[in-house]
Amino acid sequence: MNMRNNMDLERRLDEILVEEVSDKLPHLAAMLMSKKSEWPYKDKIDQQQLEQFILGLARFDPTGDRGQYVPYIVRLLTNKRPAIANRNPDDPLPAHEPVLRIGPGQDEDGPRILEALTYFDNNYKSANWKLPRDITQIKDWKILERMAVKAAKEGDDQQSKRQIDKERRRGAEKVFEITLPNREESYFYVYKITEPEAAVTYGMGSRWCTTSLSEFRDGYSYSRSVEQGPDGQILWSVPAWHPNAGQKRPLENMEIGSHRGYAITATDYLTTGPLYIIFRRNKTDNSGVGKGYQLMQITEDGTQIMDIGDDPLVRCSPATDWMFGHWQQAPGAPLQAIKRARANCGDYRGRPPV
């Protein structure tokens, strides 16, 4: 998009910021459907669905039906991250990623943008606020998200740790561990995740959407796969394409630190198979005690290989590739996912065969 188009877009945003969501529909619809828009759903939606989708964006806006931030969300939807320079040409994953992943029936980043915008709305008038006070000037919404996460983390207490320990015992299995050669103080380990509660707790500290806890209120949730049963219990429905379509599963209302809700996104992902979270740990003393940290999360088929910022992995270190090379020899290893991940790693002396 050239500079003139950018200026026109900013001017249109400024003009409609003060309108109610319903009054903004023509402008926002035009933005989403324009030739310059990178929104991947624009050729798969009719006018009525488009209007309902835009009105529904108010649920990710802390001002609700006022829709103060809906134009900002729409602008994010029309953009994609630029292609990554020097990308491995053999990488089978897409070169572009949406800036914000929200679409009809696809609300993956919905809870995250709501958290970021809520933090902005609550704090931008503060005397200590260092970012622009005009939301349209903040191009990277994840800056707000990181600030919100940091603030929430400072408010968490020991109760959250006890809850995490409880949930971690379910649906997580360490399936691989290896120490780096000539570096016994450093090693990798991999957890296979099969339950949504484990996906949330083992992913804490990352920005993976599978760690999100979504609300369910007034008969509405962020996912169309969730409904409220006659006894008030929240139920997740197996999607139509799955062999077990129609089956329903009760969801647990989790509370971890300052976060509370249902692990809907993790449940959706686990429909297609387990997740794998890769950790690295550096021992700090002879007792072997050290702090482990996540490197990445991958799906079983390797269609998503995400770093801790929830961005697609574009390159990995020789040490990580060496770990992958040995993990692929372990029983039950997700070979397709490992092959795709290693496509982002360069060659080096002693590299295990791909």
With cut-offs at 50, 70 and 90, classify the pLDDT of residue 103.
Answer: confident
What's the pTM value of the predicted model, to 2 decimals?
0.64
Torsional class of 154: left (φ above 0), alpha (ψ -120 to 50), beta (otherwise): alpha
Looking at the predicted structure, is the pLDDT value of residue 306 above 70?
yes
Looking at the predicted structure, is the pLDDT value of residue 268 above 80?
yes
Q: Of 43-47, 106-110, 209-213, give the lowest mean pLDDT range.
A: 106-110
pLDDT tens column, 1-46:
444 444 454 444 444 444 566 778 888 999 999 988 888 888 888 8
pLDDT value for 257: 61
Residue 206 half-sphere exposure toward CB, CA atoms < 13 A: 24
Whether the Cβ atoms of residue 102 and residue 60 lie closer than 8 Å to each other: yes
Cα–Cα dist 252/232, whole Å: 12
Tokens at residue 341, please? 């991940």
With cut-offs at 50, 70 and 90, classify the pLDDT of residue 186.
Answer: confident
Q: Of 30-34, 167-171, 178-182, 286-290, give the lowest mean pLDDT range.
A: 286-290
With cut-offs at 50, 70 and 90, classify the pLDDT of residue 285.
Answer: very low
